[in-house]
Amino acid sequence: MSALTPPSGTPSEGSSGRRPRIALLFGGRSSEHAVSCVTAGSVLAAIDTEKYDVVPVGIATDGRWVLESATSAHLALTSADDLPQVDPGRPTLVLDQRRELSVRSPGEVPEELGAVDAVFPLLHGPFGEDGTVQGLLELADVPYVGSGVLASAVGMDKQYMKMVLESAGLPTLPWVVVTDRVWRTDPQRIRDAVDALGFPVFVKPCRGGSSIGISKVDGPDELDAAVEEARRWDPKVVVEQSAGAGAREVECGVLDTLGDGPAEASVPAEIVVDAAHAFYDFAAKYLPEEATRLDVPADLAAEVVDEVQRLAVDAFEVMSCEGLARVDFFLLADGRLVVNEINTMPGFTPSSLFPRMWAASGVDYPALVERLVQLALTRPTGLR
């Protein structure tokens, strides 16, 4: 017999005599803290609390885990000046390697909340969507919703995401990466590379989301300021060639099936941004008063729909995604489709595109939440 024990994980079914305990993990240290809170409020309102024991776990902006309120009203987004956030003054939580959650208050005996059967990480951006929390949960042997460490990390980093997609033959737009060292020591090298892309271009934090820190640059004189704005959020930046006049923004949701069946693609949707916005920015995405039209399903020819769905599932598989993902495309004026990016934890409020695409495909929001929880409960941790 081998002296080594193979790594393994077993599906969690909850302890006998109680409901499965699901921890909703939200907030976090990234610039998308508020968006994560809004998402958590939506899931709290939709998850079946008669079937599951739900524990809301907030990560404050300083990184502390706290036992948050089980009500969702304080997590709503009403304006850009009043963003929801995790209350750092609530009781501190600890997750140990027995899957146990406990409340730790200074000078008091720890209060045990019990074993967690699965975690629903509703985190966006670095320190949550990028494989860091997924690695922690793997170490604690806790099943969780969504992609594993590798897919989460690669999906968060636009440089490596594009490299993986391109290596698999999936179409993307030309791009340039701006590393911290090169920008500090040889910025002209970056300017020359961007000139070769042609203007306009879009300058983005490499490991960000929700359009935070993104600028549209129409000429060389605007580039340096746009790079510095993106560097406020991430020292690594990507500059992407514009999709050009007449391009359409199309998105598609991908969802794993229970069992061994292949991943499924939703009907595609199209984002039509109001002319007041140069692109699909934070306000256009999240503030209800903004006049962005979301066409679900998108008005596309049947053969284009088939190609979007095929490429979406291909991207999901190439990246080794699990659970869910949203794949974003540009439909160029000449009819070509290119992959813009893949999101391993897409916007997940009922009004977000991922749930709306699945609702139009026959899976409403509560059913979507239920399917993802069941996928987590039946998926092993460890190598798979």
Residue ending a domain, among 183, 218, 241, is 241
For 138, what's the count of Cα atoms within 13 Å in the CB-facing half-sphere? 16
Same domain flag for 276 and 368 = yes
Residues found in the chain: 384
Dist CA 130 CA 64 (whole Å): 18
Element (H or E) spanning 200, and its range? none
Range of the domain at 43: 21-145
The pLDDT of residue 4 is 36
pLDDT tens profile 299-334: 999 999 999 999 999 999 999 999 999 999 999 999
What's the CATH code of the domain at 294?
A: 3.30.470.20
Same domain flag for 341 and 261 = yes
Residue ending a domain, among 217, 241, 265, is 241
Q: Which of 8-12, 125-129, 293-297 has the lowest mean pLDDT?
A: 8-12
Residue 324 maps to a domain: yes
Residue 209 maps to a domain: yes
Same domain flag for 67 and 209 = no
Q: Is residue 118 within 8 Å of 94, Cβ to Cβ?
A: no
For 189, what's the count of Cα atoms within 13 Å in the CB-facing half-sphere? 10
Residue ending a domain, among 208, 241, 274, is 241
Q: What is the mean pLDDT of residues 147-154?
A: 96
Residue 321 maps to a domain: yes
Residue position matching structure tokens 């560097």: 231
Dist CA 181 CA 65 (whole Å): 34
pLDDT tens profile 153-206: 999 999 999 999 999 999 999 999 999 999 999 999 999 999 999 999 999 999
Same domain flag for 234 and 279 = no
Please, what's the largest Cα pairwise distance for the chain? Answer: 69
Q: Which residues of 261-286 are buried (b: 16+ CB within 10 A; e: fewer)?
A: eebbbbbbbbbebeeebeebbbbbbb
Same domain flag for 165 and 193 = no
Same domain flag for 159 and 302 = yes
Dist CA 271 CA 284 (whole Å): 10
Residue 341 maps to a domain: yes
DSSP 20-76: PEEEEEEE-SSTTHHHHHHHHHHHHHHS-TTTSEEEEEEE-TTS-EEE--S--GGG-
Residue 294 maps to a domain: yes
Same domain flag for 194 and 181 = yes
Beta bridge partner(s), residue 8: none
Same domain flag for 164 and 180 = no
The pLDDT of residue 97 is 65
DSSP 67-127: E--S--GGG---BTTB-----TTSPEEEE-TTSEEEEE-TTSPPEEEEE-SEEEE---STT
Same domain flag for 250 and 190 = no
pLDDT-based confidence at 115, cuts 50/70/90? confident
If one counts the domains in the chain, the total is 3
